[in-house]
Amino acid sequence: MRMDRITSPEFESTAANGPLVILPIGATESHGIHLPLGTDTFQAEYVAGEIEKRMNNVIVAPTLPYGNHSSLKNVPGTVNVSFDALRSFMSDVLISLASHGIKRMLIITGHAGTSHMAAVTEACRDVVSRKDVKIMFVSDYIIAAECEEFRFEGDGHGGIIETSRMLDIGPAIVKKERPSGKFADSSGIILKDASSCIPDGIVGDTSKADAELGEKINNYIVGELIRRINEVLS
Amino acid sequence: MRMDRITSPEFESTAANGPLVILPIGATESHGIHLPLGTDTFQAEYVAGEIEKRMNNVIVAPTLPYGNHSSLKNVPGTVNVSFDALRSFMSDVLISLASHGIKRMLIITGHAGTSHMAAVTEACRDVVSRKDVKIMFVSDYIIAAECEEFRFEGDGHGGIIETSRMLDIGPAIVKKERPSGKFADSSGIILKDASSCIPDGIVGDTSKADAELGEKINNYIVGELIRRINEVLS
Amino acid sequence: MRMDRITSPEFESTAANGPLVILPIGATESHGIHLPLGTDTFQAEYVAGEIEKRMNNVIVAPTLPYGNHSSLKNVPGTVNVSFDALRSFMSDVLISLASHGIKRMLIITGHAGTSHMAAVTEACRDVVSRKDVKIMFVSDYIIAAECEEFRFEGDGHGGIIETSRMLDIGPAIVKKERPSGKFADSSGIILKDASSCIPDGIVGDTSKADAELGEKINNYIVGELIRRINEVLS
Amino acid sequence: MRMDRITSPEFESTAANGPLVILPIGATESHGIHLPLGTDTFQAEYVAGEIEKRMNNVIVAPTLPYGNHSSLKNVPGTVNVSFDALRSFMSDVLISLASHGIKRMLIITGHAGTSHMAAVTEACRDVVSRKDVKIMFVSDYIIAAECEEFRFEGDGHGGIIETSRMLDIGPAIVKKERPSGKFADSSGIILKDASSCIPDGIVGDTSKADAELGEKINNYIVGELIRRINEVLS
Amino acid sequence: MRMDRITSPEFESTAANGPLVILPIGATESHGIHLPLGTDTFQAEYVAGEIEKRMNNVIVAPTLPYGNHSSLKNVPGTVNVSFDALRSFMSDVLISLASHGIKRMLIITGHAGTSHMAAVTEACRDVVSRKDVKIMFVSDYIIAAECEEFRFEGDGHGGIIETSRMLDIGPAIVKKERPSGKFADSSGIILKDASSCIPDGIVGDTSKADAELGEKINNYIVGELIRRINEVLS
Amino acid sequence: MRMDRITSPEFESTAANGPLVILPIGATESHGIHLPLGTDTFQAEYVAGEIEKRMNNVIVAPTLPYGNHSSLKNVPGTVNVSFDALRSFMSDVLISLASHGIKRMLIITGHAGTSHMAAVTEACRDVVSRKDVKIMFVSDYIIAAECEEFRFEGDGHGGIIETSRMLDIGPAIVKKERPSGKFADSSGIILKDASSCIPDGIVGDTSKADAELGEKINNYIVGELIRRINEVLS
């Protein structure tokens, strides 16, 4: 059930059944020469959509397509929302959902930058301290990256995992190029322009990416999340 | 050109050509028993999409699907973002686009609540005071409602204009019912729960709505905006 | 009863009788070559004073003589208070009055700019959500301008209505000149300096203004407000 | 010259002559059983008016009639504005005046509470750090209280100085009673309700107050301020 | 008992006995050519330590070594924290202590600038309005300066009192020089760089300072505070 | 060189030599039944002190002894500062140091909570965007924990690394008990009281801790930081 496609009375009667509301957070961020700016959005929406297909009593709320960025905020096409604005916006959205009786929420963020995650986490903490609601906040990217099976040496932003997943989700918007790049650690230096940490625009060797792997990763993420929902969010 | 479907280098080269970036602002708001919660989102996105089809050098940025609501914020399904959070979020998005060299922006908001409009207007003012950028901010609803041809007595939120437009844009998500409702003026009283101003959930007699009228209105809005863009935003 | 002229014990005993507190909001804003900067202040205070004369159990609180301005903020003599400062200041004043047991308040603003109105409205909403108090917020200008009898083609800021009213309220501070001006619509463009929307400094043909008309308008506003107070604020 | 009574062009031509703008800050605060709530407002306005009469090239801006209160904020009739709202409001007003070319400002506050003074001081500091403007910020009450001649043992809020001054400025709004009260020091304890520090509502023995003394004090304040203006603000 | 040296269970059992928590606020501020930047820190910590030695049931919390500065903020070595940051930080620390059951707190600030004091006072007011806790907030410097015995003509920042106290507390970090300086009053002018008010870097004739006097002053402060604690904070 | 022990002129002349300023951030946080609340403070100060001993041209600024806590904020003795207050406070301190000509700063935080780190990181980003200064921000704990040699299975807060280090730094304030505990992952659930993630108060088997190991870890951290300073911060 897509929240934007149902009416107010439909929402009201569904809300009375204790549904899980999934809120995808995407991003508009440079993902190299081969992946689209909306990569994080497409991934989070895909995962949300699959969970909705496979489970009952799920409402997918409209995607927030902008996030907070550090490393790549100055790279063309990245739209950066400040820590405070993202935190406040998310806090308001969640409080509003809770005020309508929603008790279970799953927030899936495609983008997994540290400050971005911290901003949304702070928003969630604010909400659980004010409302009687259970919130799970995860990054689909981190779920994949933490899985032993998908730990590719030196893989990261726009790398093997992300490229493979996009080849599964939306091959038509993945370009032919398969770039390769390395993360350049700053040793703790806070950089004015942190794009120097990702000098090649992406991190990882995307020549190793393919749609089959992407499908496997996407399925793993969806399965893992369904497992967690059943375990701690139902 | 959809911003989320292009790569960073594609955005960069397009941005160098002085494109118009259109940013649709939708809403997740009760629209009566017959229209979906995402009505404002679908309308703003439709208008943005049509302009993109009919003009050159246009980038459509991802839609912000949540806004600020007063009257209907407590009605099931409305997701309300506070004045400050909406203003800050919009300000950040626009500043970010401007920092990538975008000089012309058109913001189309489906929702036209007074505070919502004021919040986005304040954000735009902040941006034009800090960046060398031209911003047009309009509500597609207001453009239609101000047109002599579409002034239906007592029509408003979720009424003839909105129902007709949705019958043109997405008939599959419009329910069969054709409710009727009146606006109840509060004489300046600031209400704790302003939903009493829209006691029937909508304003207008939707039995008079039809797809043909909707098509006419949608075409009018798109045409009028293209006219304005050519006149003052090119 | 003027709040600033009574003692604390007098206020306390009056407050116990459920009085209406009227708070005038003025402005210090350019009103052309013929009207004083305090035009909005004088008008709001006049209306408040007349209501106080004609009704029982009314306290007039001290006038806030500064507001929020968009179009004319850069024109000499306009004193502009930001949206946030005006909202916070008003919210504090109203909360303070409510904490002393005031249950009925009427805020009359002479200035009627959209952002100014939104800022005060947001403050009122904040107060009614926190305190058990009834607040009516109106602009005397809008009450006049919405009256069929006083709808003069192309009339607006510093025009026929405002000039006539000042000729009734304070003829000694109205200059001899009777300028004429037109509103220049910006088609939704958010202007860095919006004074170009009021290129002549005022809007309307003030040669048509006179004291008799002003008296009629002023009486209409006072009468209309007394009617509304009796109807919904008593 | 009263700013609210002149037109925009008059303000502009006056501003070109390097005038001193005086901004009175009043208060709406309990002043015992004998003095009106607007005591601080009347005193600040009186001093401003006298300086304007006796000096050339002076503009008196409209009075801000609300301030920040600690001790008496819960006593009937006191209208309390928070530290932050007062600071922001004042900062905006002063920045706006400076943006119109005003280079010399004198702010006279009738109320002299520590936090109130700190809030306005912080606003002034903000303004002088951003604009090329000279601001003098004083309390007429403190000027009197620091004068050897007017140091009455145990005199303070609503006491001999204030009562005498009001008997000179507005005898018609001073009641017959002449109360007496003592300040109760809290030894550094931060009180939830600090009105216990002024248990009698005022501080001092007002039976010693009279109009003649008030005139002397008022003259002293005006003279002292003119001296300072000539010395450091011209 | 030093809070940083005890364990969580020790804190818990102590907190159950209704202890007094003393929180020293120091500063990092220029104190002339002879006194160290941490002068205010050392003094506040010394007083806190002595009270802890002489009384039972006292916990000394870690010292906050930075404060808010006006006059000397631009002088080398002064570390300035803004009014708002100091207020928020202090408010959070005190709320946190109160949430652990602490009911009695004594805040001792070495630095006694007006804005600094106002910021901490505002924080304390916020806390007592939200939590059932008794807070005493004092400056050890002001306690000494208000004592008849230690009123040295023209003495102030870095002068006889402060130099003498440091000669008692930490003679090894007091330099040989004994400078002299005067306070230059600004007559109410809000200075962009207020260091001109302390043109010599300090205020007072430090040639009159000695360790014996310092010991007497330090003892007086400690005794006076113990007296107050016994009287109003136990 | 300890900043609080030098005078303003000494700071000024040192600052002219391009020194490295080290700012330790500690915490007041529950560290189980055996370690003191100030564990993070002592560790950060120790590391700062050792670097100062072993390198030239180093100033150690006073330690900020309070931080932001999530998991353990409700456990007795933890003093929690909000994200915003910590960020603002740190930003002000760093800006102030930069305004005195300091170009190289090293911030060492003993506490390494995600939100705490994000708050300080945001502050540093703010500073480097406004001032020409190089800031390295590290957690001594993370440096140790990321070293292959000190990766003890299931070790974390108050565990083998921290206990060993404290046995080296301050054995007198480490209790006899050697508790053991496990981290309980919340699967992404945002907990109202996250102390359930550390149900034993600490994470790791401290029976394996000893002073010799602690010395090795402390030396490693100091050496690693000196290496990084020489490499990227000199």
Per-residue exposure over B15-52, b if at least 16 CB sit within 10 Å of its own CB, e if not: beeebbbbbbbbbbbbbbbbbbbbbbbbbbbbbbbbbb
CA distance D170 to D43: 9
Residue E203 lies in a domain: no
Decide if C122 and B83 are in contact by the 8 Å CB cutoff.
yes
The pLDDT, as a whole number, for residue F102 is 98
What average pLDDT does the segment F44-73 reach?
98
The pLDDT, as a whole number, for residue F6 is 98
In total, the C-beta contacts within 8 angstroms joining chain E to chain F are 174
Percentage of residues in chain A with pLDDT exceeding 90? Answer: 100
The pLDDT, as a whole number, for residue B181 is 98
Residue B166 lies in a domain: no
Residue D178 lies in a domain: no
Residue D57 lies in a domain: yes
Distance from CA of B76 to the nearest CA of C (A): 19
Distance from CA of D93 to the nearest CA of C (A): 6
The pLDDT, as a whole number, for residue B166 is 98
Q: Chain E within 8 Å of F97 (Cβ-Cβ)?
A: yes
CA distance A197 to A115: 16
Mutate to test the interface with D, among E84, E105, E190 (most CBs of D within 10 A): E190
Decide if F77 and E8 are in contact by the 8 Å CB cutoff.
yes
* Banded pLDDT at E189 (limits 50, 70, 90): very high
Range of the domain at A136: 3-151+218-232
The pLDDT, as a whole number, for residue E213 is 98
Instruction: For chain B, list residues with pLDDT below 50.
Output: none
Angle at C159 between CA C157 and CA C165, to 5 degrees: 105
Per-residue pLDDT tens for F109-153? 999 999 999 999 999 999 999 999 999 999 999 999 999 999 999
> Concatenated DSSP letters for A83-148?
HHHHHHHHHHHHHHHHHTT--EEEEEES---HHHHHHHHHHHHHHHHHSS-EEEEEEHHHHHHTSG
Nearest to B36 among A4, A35, A76 (CB): A4
The pLDDT, as a whole number, for residue B138 is 98
* Banded pLDDT at A142 (limits 50, 70, 90): very high
- Of F8, F86, F116, the C-alpha closest to E79 is F8
**Chain length of chain E:** 234
Residue C27 lies in a domain: yes
The pLDDT, as a whole number, for residue C190 is 97
Q: Chain C within 8 Å of B176 (Cβ-Cβ)?
A: no
* Banded pLDDT at E43 (limits 50, 70, 90): very high
Mutate to test the interface with C, among D1, D2, D3, D4 (most CBs of C within 10 A): D4
The pLDDT, as a whole number, for residue E182 is 97
Nearest to C88 among D5, D85, D96 (CB): D85
**Chain length of chain A:** 234
Residue B9 lies in a domain: yes
Per-residue pLDDT tens for E59-93? 999 999 999 999 999 999 999 999 999 999 999 99
Decide if A92 and B75 are in contact by the 8 Å CB cutoff.
no
Q: Chain A within 8 Å of F85 (Cβ-Cβ)?
A: no
- The total domain count for chain B is 1
Distance from CA of A21 to the nearest CA of B (A): 12
The pLDDT, as a whole number, for residue E208 is 98
Decide if D189 and E125 are in contact by the 8 Å CB cutoff.
no
What's E223's domain CATH number?
3.40.50.10310
The pLDDT, as a whole number, for residue F9 is 98
What string of pLDDT tens digits covers the 234 residues of chain D?
A: 999 999 999 999 999 999 999 999 999 999 999 999 999 999 999 999 999 999 999 999 999 999 999 999 999 999 999 999 999 999 999 999 999 999 999 999 999 999 999 999 999 999 999 999 999 999 999 999 999 999 999 999 999 999 999 999 999 999 999 999 999 999 999 999 999 999 999 999 999 999 999 999 999 999 999 999 999 999
- Of C228, C112, C213, the C-alpha closest to C169 is C213
The pLDDT, as a whole number, for residue E179 is 98
What average pLDDT does the segment A95-110 reach?
98
Mutate to test the interface with F, among A69, A190, A192, A233 (most CBs of F within 10 A): A190
The pLDDT, as a whole number, for residue F191 is 94
Residues 6+ apart with CB under 8 A from A212: none
Mutate to test the interface with A, among F190, F193, F197 (most CBs of A within 10 A): F190
Contact D106, D74 (CB under 8 A): no
Which residue in chain D has the smallest CA separation from E193?
Answer: D129
The pLDDT, as a whole number, for residue A229 is 98
| DSSP class of B198 | S
Query: F232 contacts in A (CB within 8 Å)?
Result: 186-187, 189
Phi, psi angles (nearest 5°) of residue F147: -80, 125
Touching status, chains C and E (3+ beta-carbon pairs under 8 Å): no
Nearest to D85 among C63, C77, C85 (CB): C85
Residue A144 lies in a domain: yes
Q: Chain D within 8 Å of C226 (Cβ-Cβ)?
A: no
- Of A197, A89, A95, A216, the C-alpha closest to A150 is A216
The pLDDT, as a whole number, for residue F62 is 98
CA distance F91 to F122: 8
What average pLDDT does the segment E126-142 reach?
98
Nearest to E187 among D127, D136, D190 (CB): D136
Tokens of C121: 């409205």
Q: Chain B within 8 Å of A100 (Cβ-Cβ)?
A: yes
The pLDDT, as a whole number, for residue C116 is 98
Contact A166, A35 (CB under 8 A): yes
In total, the C-beta contacts within 8 angstroms joining chain A to chain F are 70
A134-139: strand order across its sheet: A58-60, A20-25, A104-109, A134-139
Q: Chain D within 8 Å of E83 (Cβ-Cβ)?
A: yes
Distance from CA of D233 to the nearest CA of C (A): 22
Tokens of B75: 């009605």
CA distance D209 to D158: 11
The pLDDT, as a whole number, for residue A200 is 94
What average pLDDT does the segment F75-96 reach?
98
The pLDDT, as a whole number, for residue E100 is 98
Distance from CA of C96 to the nearest CA of B (A): 17
Percentage of residues in chain A with pLDDT exceeding 70? Answer: 100
Residue F170 lies in a domain: no
Entry pTM: 0.97
Per-residue pLDDT tens for D61-94? 999 999 999 999 999 999 999 999 999 999 999 9
Q: Chain F within 8 Å of A76 (Cβ-Cβ)?
A: no
Instruction: For chain C, list residues with pLDDT below 50.
Output: none
Percentage of residues in chain E with pLDDT exceeding 70? Answer: 100
